[in-house]
Structure 1
Amino acid sequence: MLQNDAVRNLQYDSEIRVAQTSTASEPRVYDSQITITAQPRPTTETPRIPLPISTVAGSGTFIPLAGYHCLADLPSVHIEQTFELNDALTAVSSENRYVIRSPLGDAIFAASESSTENHRMVWGAARPFQMHLLDKTHQEALVFRKKLALGAMCCAPKTLEIWIPPGNVLGRVVQSPTFTQPVFFIEDGNTGQPTFCVEGPKNSGFCCFCPPKECYFKIHSGGDLRASLDHKWLASKSQYTTNIYFSDISLTAKDRALILGAAFLLEYMFFQK
């Protein structure tokens, strides 16, 4: 027991030392009244705190990973929703929370929705929101931003933006105006060019797509299947899960983060009814 406490204290002290800055400066004293016109900002970007472990479970890399780079080399990720007691007892929907896990069940990200109660009551699953994904260092790794959009035919198409700290657009997922099956394009944030195409089940509805609870989406680029996404019932946990399988091992961490954003857009559009 004492040994375990010592290990915990050592880990805690090491995390504190990492979080502290190495430079020390004398406090500045002013004789006269000073008016602050702007908040002080660091001149250089603060490096992320490394993970307190040496590897990510299920990954082939052997260096500490943080941020969306935790997705590198993973063959699949699985999105599990955490259900709130308030949803079962009242008619008011609460902000959704999810856990993104590796194939071995290790939690990679904790995702929490940020939206207003009025938007949840009026618009339901079509509501605008921000989804914040925190990694194991409790730092923000990704932010998904969805604006209010009612459709793809006569109104603005449904889109979701993928952001990374401190405020850079990694890419976006845009709904395509189709009639026979749901189609989405994943665009690069720098060039605005589509890099992946997401296709859902065919003949799933006319204009208003209503795919079954268990369905399959394929993600391809240049005619080659790069990844796949399905929504299935997990009997061991008595709930539905959204699963992403990366078929192409050459996919970068950025590509996997964009595909993860597409999975959350599909989650709200088709599986939050």
Structure 2
Amino acid sequence: MAQPVQGQPTGGEKGAQWMPAPPERPVGCPPGLEYLTQLDQILVHQQVELLEAILNWETKNRYVVKNSMGQQVFFAREESGLCWRLCCQQGRPFVMHITDNNNEEVIRIVRPFQCCAGCCWCADGGNCCSLTINIESPPGTIVGTVTQTRSSWKPEMNVMNSSGETVLKIRGPCCLCNMVCCRCDIQFAVMSADLTQEVGIISKQWAGAIKEMFTNADTFSITFPRDLDVKVKAVLVGALFLIDFMFYEQKN
């Protein structure tokens, strides 16, 4: 099989315009994350898989990550086993590889298999009932973790840094039906660790009746302060994928 040519993007939309690389990487910024230092919003579009849409056969997810001007910043592809996708669907373990426009993997998101996790009444921020996802940048170096917390009716998550300290919290809407059935954008508020200030939003965007009915190809956006720690921005990208798999990977 032919190998990708360095510097030639292999993933994403055909004819996509790529975001130009920043002139230099700030001190302490993991390689490839310098793109995020310039952004206060990213858009994540899941690509429609024809086989999945026609046969309802769960395939590996692929996503295009863009800036607010529509320029492609990253490409994300899921690595998972066929049996996991067919039998576990939303609960499947996976590795999400996120590459830049040089085909270099800059972020790796790892979700382990947790057979008893997911109940918002039982989750307690890291116990066996809490859904967890780890974010690495560069691959092999954990920069943060997102873990589900006990929340009764509202989905809630802790965003933690590499030291295990909670730096942000995420709060979803009150009703699960609103998250799954609502024909509008669904917002998950990104709050400060003490819950006194909203610092950003992860939004599941309504894609239209036809696309929502026949596929589970979702569109998300994240807004955050431009000067937010770039590693925390990468962890919020991981939070987005955890939200997608928790609530929006059901069969249509």
- Scaled to the shorter chain, the TM-score interval is 0.7 to 0.9
Q: Which residue of 2 aligns with 1:215?
A: 186
RMSD, aligned CA: 2.7
Looking at structure 2, the residues matched to 74 and 249 of structure 1 have their Cα atoms a distance apart, in angstroms, of: 6
Q: CA deviation at 1:89?
A: 2.8
2:202 is aligned with 1:229: yes
Q: Which residue of 2 aligns with 1:192?
A: 164
2:248 is aligned with 1:255: no
Larger radius of gyration: 1
2:243 is aligned with 1:266: yes
Conservation of the 8 A alpha-carbon contact between 1:78 and 1:241: yes
**Cα deviations across residues 156-182 of structure 1 (Å, max 9, x unaligned)?**
211100012341101110000221200
Alignment length (residue pairs):
214
Q: CA deviation at 1:72?
A: 0.9
Partner secondary structure for residue 71 of structure 1: helix
Distance 1:166 1:241, change over 3 A: closer
List runs of 5+ in structure 1 lacking aligned partners.
1-11, 16-54
Task: Report the more deviating stretch, 177-186 or 147-156.
Answer: 147-156
Q: Which residue of 1 aligns with 2:111?
A: 146
Give, as a single letter, the amino acid of the residue that structure 2 aligns with 1:251: L
Give, as a single letter, the amino acid of the residue that structure 1 aligns with 2:32: G
Task: Report the more deviating stretch, 167-176 or 223-232.
Answer: 223-232
2:12 is aligned with 1:78: no
Q: Which residue of 2 aligns with 1:41?
A: none
Looking at structure 1, the residues matched to 189 and 101 of structure 2 have their Cα atoms a distance apart, in angstroms, of: 29
Conservation of the 8 A alpha-carbon contact between 2:45 and 2:219: yes
Q: CA deviation at 1:88?
A: 2.0
Conservation of the 8 A alpha-carbon contact between 2:105 and 2:139: no
Partner secondary structure for residue 98 of structure 2: strand
Q: Which residue of 1 aligns with 2:220?
A: 242
Conservation of the 8 A alpha-carbon contact between 1:70 and 1:253: no
**Cα deviations across residues 86-119 of structure 1 (Å, max 9, x unaligned)?**
1023232110000000001011111000000000
Q: Which residue of 1 aligns with 2:10?
A: none
Looking at structure 2, the residues matched to 196 and 173 of structure 1 have their Cα atoms a distance apart, in angstroms, of: 10
Identify which of 102, 108, 119 aligns with 2:73.
108
Q: CA deviation at 1:257?
A: 0.7
Q: Which residue of 2 aligns with 1:91?
A: 56
Q: Normalising by structure 2, what TM-score? A: 0.76
**Cα deviations across residues 99-146 of structure 1 (Å, max 9, x unaligned)?**
000001011111000000000111012100000000011000000001
Identify which of 29, 33, 41 aligns with 1:68.
33
Q: Which residue of 2 aligns with 1:44?
A: none
Identify which of 94, 101, 104 aligns with 1:136.
101
Q: Which residue of 2 aligns with 1:173?
A: 146
Q: Which residue of 2 aligns with 1:163?
A: 136
Percent identity between the aligned chains?
25
Give, as a single letter, the amino acid of the residue that structure 1 aligns with 2:135: I
List runs of 5+ in structure 2 lacking aligned partners.
8-17, 212-216
